[in-house]
Amino acid sequence: MRILHTLAEPSLGGLEFRTLEQASWLHGHGYDVAIAAPAASAVSHAARERKLTTVDIDFKPAYSPLTVLALRRAIKALRIQVIDSHSRADAKTAALCRDLCAVVRTRHFAKPMRSSPRRRLEWKVGCDHVIATSHLGKQELLAARLAPENRISVVGEWAGDEFFRPAGEPDAMLHIRRGLGIPAPKAAYVIATVGMLRPEKGQAELLRVVQHLRIQGIPAVGLVVGMPTPDTRPYAYALYRLAVELGIAEHVVFAGHRTDVPDMIRAADVVLVPSATEAWSRIVPESFASGRPVVASEVGGLPEIVVPGRTGWLASPGDVRSYAQCILDIRNRPWQTQTIVANARAFADAHLRLGEKMFHTLEAYRLAMGTGLPPEPRHRHHRHVRPHRDWTATR
């Protein structure tokens, strides 16, 4: 099976990392896979670092003849059988290539979707199958009448093998914390959030939670992992100012973008997911696998995997007092916390591994192709395809 992932956004976020992991897994298991993205995009750079085949296409404007021609040439040159499109612009371009290959559209969000005759037509004629990343995401697709139920598969998030590995030496957490400038465990109770710095991710709520806990005498320290996009830099600056205004600047670490996310999670006592909107959130399975308690907003698809009393703690989005109370319960009830964390780890081990999710992804690809036959992986040389007149167009 020959697969082409398409992405239109220039920066790296959760859906881009998900796509890179999928492509790397496919490449590692012998499938022919490539990623089409803007030449200067972070995802294209990351794909080349992973030795993946890349195609330089700027998908804006999506319906431009040059854009469509570039994608069609890439499909023919690489003999692509399935396109998996991950954002709106590239999905529109891919829709005009269904005569050449099957088209899958992955919907990475779980929130109400706009519906109109034109939009329904785009989805109906523009793809053969849809992957939703949560069950709520599937319901939103159905509610908007964008795809029938038999054309939607649900493939949630996962944790990579590195998150399941033991932390190592007993003082591993101490070593990680020292590198971040965080005091020893007795002097700091670390609450981490991981994700792009965007208002809907709720990092501002984490800062308010740290202040709330410190007022109650808890030595809370906030660990904010992630970087802004070019459009959200003002929000990042606002976060720095908020930490100063709340009087907690010396108790917050802004770690920026990190490639050692497993270590960042292991440096935390609690992982907070204070999002205003979310599907499953990649950080939840990763925290489960790493053995860290998770407090999350009761929004989107998060309640599908964060189940109070079983795998984690839920609070109303934006409710700082509720987030803080959940964290106090985790700190003050260690035996209950250990049981829930162990349940979450077992759940992740059984249901949230990459191999299982890729099995379901490949199943969705076969449905799009109209075949139930298992694909035969084949090894090929992987390369970066440079733009030229017979290959790609960058606009």
**pLDDT 10s digits, 260-296:** 999 999 999 999 999 998 988 999 999 999 999 999 9
- Note the pLDDT of residue 230: 87
DSSP assigned state of 57: -
Name the residue among 5, 57, 59 with its Cα closest to residue 27. 5
Asked if residue 191 and residue 93 are part of one domain, the reply reads no
Residue-averaged pLDDT of the chain: 91
Q: Residue 234 falls within a domain, yes or no? A: yes
Burial class (CB in 10 A: 0-12, 13-18, 19+), 102: buried
Q: Residue 248 falls within a domain, yes or no? A: yes
The β-bridge relationship of strands 220-225 and 189-194 is: parallel
pLDDT greater than 50 at residue 340: yes
Lookup: tokens for 195: 């994700």
SS3 call for 322:
helix
Q: What is the pLDDT of residues 360-381, one digit of tens each?
A: 999 999 999 995 444 444 444 4
Top pLDDT among 248 and 172 is at: 248
| C-beta separation of 148 from 123 below 8 A | no
What is d(CA 163, CA 181) in angstroms, rounded to the nearest whole number? Answer: 23
Asked if residue 83 and residue 217 are part of one domain, the reply reads no
The β-bridge relationship of strands 32-37 and 294-297 is: unpaired
Asked if residue 211 and residue 75 are part of one domain, the reply reads no
- Note the pLDDT of residue 168: 66
DSSP assigned state of 308: B
The CATH number that applies at residue 331 is 3.40.50.2000
Asked if residue 214 and residue 82 are part of one domain, the reply reads no
| C-beta separation of 1 from 358 below 8 A | no
pLDDT greater than 80 at residue 388: no
pLDDT band at 391 (very low <50, low <70, confident <90, very high): very low
Rounded to a whole number of angstroms, the CA Rg of the chain reads 22
Q: Residue 105 falls within a domain, yes or no? A: yes
% of the chain surpassing 90 pLDDT: 82
Asked if residue 263 and residue 243 are part of one domain, the reply reads yes
- Note the pLDDT of residue 184: 79
Q: What is the pLDDT of residues 162-215, one digit of tens each?
A: 999 887 666 778 888 999 999 877 789 999 999 999 999 999 999 999 999 999
- Note the pLDDT of residue 14: 87
pLDDT band at 47 (very low <50, low <70, confident <90, very high): very high
DSSP assigned state of 232: G
What is d(CA 225, CA 259) in angstroms, rounded to the nearest whole number? Answer: 10
Number of structural domains, the chain? 2
Q: Residue 6 falls within a domain, yes or no? A: yes
- Note the pLDDT of residue 169: 65
SS3 call for 392:
coil
- Note the pLDDT of residue 87: 92
What is d(CA 93, CA 61) in angstroms, rounded to the nearest whole number? Answer: 9
- Note the pLDDT of residue 289: 97
Asked if residue 262 and residue 291 are part of one domain, the reply reads yes
Q: Residue 358 falls within a domain, yes or no? A: yes
Stretch 340-361: mean pLDDT, rounded? 96
Asked if residue 201 and residue 99 are part of one domain, the reply reads no
- Note the pLDDT of residue 307: 97
Q: What is the pLDDT of residues 31-43, one digit of tens each?
A: 999 999 999 999 9
Q: What angle do CA 279, 368, 363 make, to 5 degrees?
A: 65
Stretch 121-127: mean pLDDT, rounded? 92
Top pLDDT among 118 and 71 is at: 71
Asked if residue 148 and residue 179 are part of one domain, the reply reads no
pLDDT greater than 70 at residue 8: yes
Asked if residue 121 and residue 137 are part of one domain, the reply reads yes
Chain mean position to CA 198: 14
Phi, psi of 112 (to 5 degrees): -55, 140
Cβ-Cβ contacts under 8 Å for 290 (sequence gap 6 or more): 159, 163, 164, 167, 262, 265, 266
Q: Residue 76 falls within a domain, yes or no? A: yes
The Cα-based distances of 357 to 20, 27, 157, 361 in angstroms read 14, 15, 8, 6
Asked if residue 177 and residue 118 are part of one domain, the reply reads no
- Note the pLDDT of residue 382: 46
- Note the pLDDT of residue 371: 56
What is d(CA 10, CA 384) in angstroms, rounded to the nearest whole number? Answer: 17
Cβ-Cβ contacts under 8 Å for 179 (sequence gap 6 or more): none
Q: Residue 34 falls within a domain, yes or no? A: yes
Asked if residue 316 and residue 370 are part of one domain, the reply reads no
The one-letter amino acid at 215: I
Measured distance between the N- and C-terminal CA atoms of the chain, rounded to whole angstroms: 29
- Note the pLDDT of residue 115: 87
Domain encompassing residue 14: 2-158+353-385
- Produce one character per residue of 278-308: b if its CB has 16 or more CB atoms within 10 Å, e if not: bbbbbbbbbbbbbbbbbbbbebbbbbbbbbe
| C-beta separation of 10 from 42 below 8 A | yes
Q: Residue 395 falls within a domain, yes or no? A: no
Asked if residue 101 and residue 59 are part of one domain, the reply reads yes
What is d(CA 33, CA 349) in angstroms, rounded to the nearest whole number? Answer: 27
